[in-house]
Amino acid sequence: MNSMRHQGIGMTSQRTRDRLIRRLQEQGIHDERVLEVMRRIPRHLFVDEALAHRAYEDTALPIGYGQTISQPFIVAHMSQVLLEDGPANSVLEIGTGCGYQTAVLASLFAQVYSVERIEALHQQARERLAELEIYNVQLRYCDGIEGWPNPSYRFDRIIMTAACSEVPEALLQQLREGGMMVLPFDSGYDQTLTRFTRTRDGLEREPLEKVAFVPLLPGLD
């Protein structure tokens, strides 16, 4: 990769990224691991070059195919929540999109698994992660409603970056006991970022905050 593009200039520079980190701290992101990784990862490489100068604004941006890259605060917040509740090694992400959240997770967890139902986004994310030499991620082009294609896998954490009104059964099956899942839950009226913890007796549910995500869609595109 062209190193100028990699390092960024002007609105994509390290200084711009440092400003984003200060904003995240003001918004209540306190986990140093999350702040450190977001300070380091060049978010502008995950959006179209024409939008690169806006990559460090605290806003969602279009990534094509009617999808969006999540707002930095949401990426930071979901990552911070996933790091709570003790040690975790593996995380399954539903909705790879541009791969930015995936790249952030790759620095925070030993093993990252991520699935996407739009093949072009899946391919693009694969290329970007390879360019950044991120190797502890496995990507699949498949329907996340069915979970990870190998049903015997159990994950410590699951993150979904698309909104659903019912937690897919396959995901519940693939969350280990004591594990935690974070997703935007759609009541039909509004969306609430929600944490589900799998206990011996079932599922504990904790609403976190109002959000706006694209919907979880069934099948392949």
- The catalytic residue positions are 70
Minimum distance from residue 58 beta carbon to ligand SAH (Å)? 13
Interface pick for ligand SAH out of 8, 42, 97, 147 (rule CB under 6 A): 97
Segment lying near ligand SAH (by CB under 6 A), choices 9-17, 28-36, 149-157, 213-221:
213-221
Compute the distance between CA of residue 184 and CA of residue 75 in angstroms, rounded to an integer: 12
Contacts with 61 (C-beta within 8 Å, 6 or more apart), sequence order: 47, 51, 54, 55, 68, 69
Compute the distance between CA of residue 198 and CA of residue 109 in angstroms, rounded to an integer: 19
Minimum distance from residue 218 beta carbon to ligand SAH (Å)? 6
Contact, 42 vs 8, CB < 8 A? yes
Q: Which is nearer to ligand SAH, 179 or 184 (CB)?
A: 184
Please identify which residue in the block is written with the tokens 């179209």: 48
Contact, 140 vs 112, CB < 8 A? no
Q: Is 117 in the site for ligand SAH (CB under 6 A)?
A: yes
Minimum distance from residue 86 beta carbon to ligand SAH (Å)? 24
Contacts with ligand SAH, residue ranges (CB under 6 A): 63, 67-70, 94-95, 97-98, 100-101, 115-118, 121, 143-145, 161-162, 214, 216-217
